[in-house]
């Protein structure tokens, strides 16, 4: 995969970054170099290699998947100007 100046300008526009013509030309070369390194990773043979979460063999900690309200409803609405049964009361905005 290679990047051209039009692609660099489009990505810069999407990222809301101002890029001059000479910067776009320079970035084209830099991005192509980076993509070349990424393409080299496709050449690595990873058959039989298990995915790792750490360099040290360990199991991930698991917790019980339970839904709770956190027992913090009263604390959350404590500073609100108006509440009703732990709900925020707000003025009506739409008639």
Could you tell me the residue ranges of all domains in the chain? 5-41
**Ranges of H-type helices in the chain:** 5-14, 21-41, 73-76
Residue 85: beta bridge partners?
none
pLDDT at 17: 94
Looking at per-residue pLDDT, the higher value among 52 and 33 belongs to 33
Range scoring the smallest mean pLDDT among 13-17, 47-51, 55-59: 55-59
| pLDDT value for 12 | 94
Any residues with CB less than 8 A from the CB of 12 and at least 6 apart, and which? 18, 19, 24, 27
User: pLDDT tier at 52 (50, 70, 90 boundaries)?
Assistant: confident
- 30 falls in which pLDDT band (50, 70, 90)? very high
What CATH number is given for 5-41 in this structure?
A: 1.10.20
């Amino acid at each position: 995969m290679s990047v051209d100046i039009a692609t660099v300008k489009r990505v810069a526009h999407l990222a809301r970054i101002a890029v001059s013509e000479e910067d776009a030309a320079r970035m084209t070369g830099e991005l192509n170099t980076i993509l070349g390194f990424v393409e080299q990773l496709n050449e690595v043979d990873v058959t039989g290699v298990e995915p790792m979460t750490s360099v040290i063999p360990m199991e991930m900690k698991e917790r019980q998947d339970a839904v709770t309200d956190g027992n913090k409803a009263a604390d959350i609405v404590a500073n609100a100007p108006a509440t009703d049964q732990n709900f925020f009361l707000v003025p009506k905005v739409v008639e």
